[in-house]
Amino acid sequence: MTICYCSLHARLFIWAQHTWADFPRETIMKIQRYYNIIRSTRGEDPSLGVVEAACDECIQSIQYIYGTALNDIDSP
């Protein structure tokens, strides 16, 4: 299973709830090490791993930063 994690804000995407939640970096590092062990014994499996992803806070920041610029483009 692929895990989506935002290292900037230390947030994990919870697939069952379709939401982001705070998640400790130390725990995600343990998961990454565990996945690396599994990969080394079973071979490369693209379905296993932690993937860096933009979380809800990232999206809000981008919308805030670029929102004004986008509104300027749309105005006559």
CA-to-CA separations, 17 to 20, 21, 65, 67, in angstroms, rounded: 9, 10, 28, 28
14 has which bridge partners?
19
| DSSP at 31 | H
Is the pLDDT confidence value at 2 over 90? no
Q: For 48-72, how does the pLDDT look when each residue is reduced to its tens digit (9 = 90+)? A: 688 999 999 998 888 877 775 555 5
Higher-confidence residue of 6 and 1: namely: 6
Measure the CA–CA gap between 21 and 57, rounded to whole angstroms.
10
Is the pLDDT confidence value at 14 over 80? yes
Measure the CA–CA gap between 23 and 32, rounded to whole angstroms.
14
**Tokens at residue 64, please?**
């805030």
